[in-house]
Amino acid sequence: MKQANILAFSSSRAGNGGYLESAVQVIKPFLGEEAKTIAFVPFASVDSYSDYAEKVRQGLSSLKHKIELVEPGNAKEVIAAADAIMIGGGNTFKLLHDLYKAGVVELIRERVSDGVPYIGWSAGSNLTGPTICTTNDMPIIEPESFHSFGFFSFQI
């Protein structure tokens, strides 16, 4: 196993700043200057995935990386081909449910263990621990398991 490259934010905003405004200043050196394809997983959202991806693209517009939208029908292919994986916020229970349903929990775990950079905020950060058992999100749906990626040995 290579050293995992994980960047976890508690939120997409800091103070009165714009969407991902403070995060972009950390993401830029984390990913480096070379253009990368980032698989963006919007499954925590209860709204339109394409609208969410567009919001992320706008928030990260100062970077030259390509944000590729992960949807249930293309999840395995996009995640397998990506240079980095990014998972946004929303509802942690829905996020984990949809990741299990798409069959990509183990794939993401393997890719990150192989050194592929992982960026998550809010619900996307919650999954970096061993389980989602300490999240304060409303349990709107029951995932197949409460076990998440386990990149860290402690709960987020």
Strands in the chain per DSSP E: 6-9, 37-41, 66-69, 84-87, 118-121
What is the Cα–Cα distance from 127 to 95, expressed in whole angstroms?
9
pLDDT score for 156: 86
pLDDT score for 46: 94
Please give the CATH number for the structural domain made up of 6-126: 3.40.50.880
> What would the pLDDT profile of 7-61 be if each residue is shown by its tens digit?
999 999 988 889 999 999 999 999 998 999 999 999 999 999 999 999 999 999 9
What is the Cα–Cα distance from 139 to 137, expressed in whole angstroms?
6
Q: Where are the domains of the chain?
A: 6-126
DSSP state of 131: B
Q: In what order do the strands lie in the sheet with 37-41?
A: 6-9, 118-121, 84-87, 37-41, 66-69
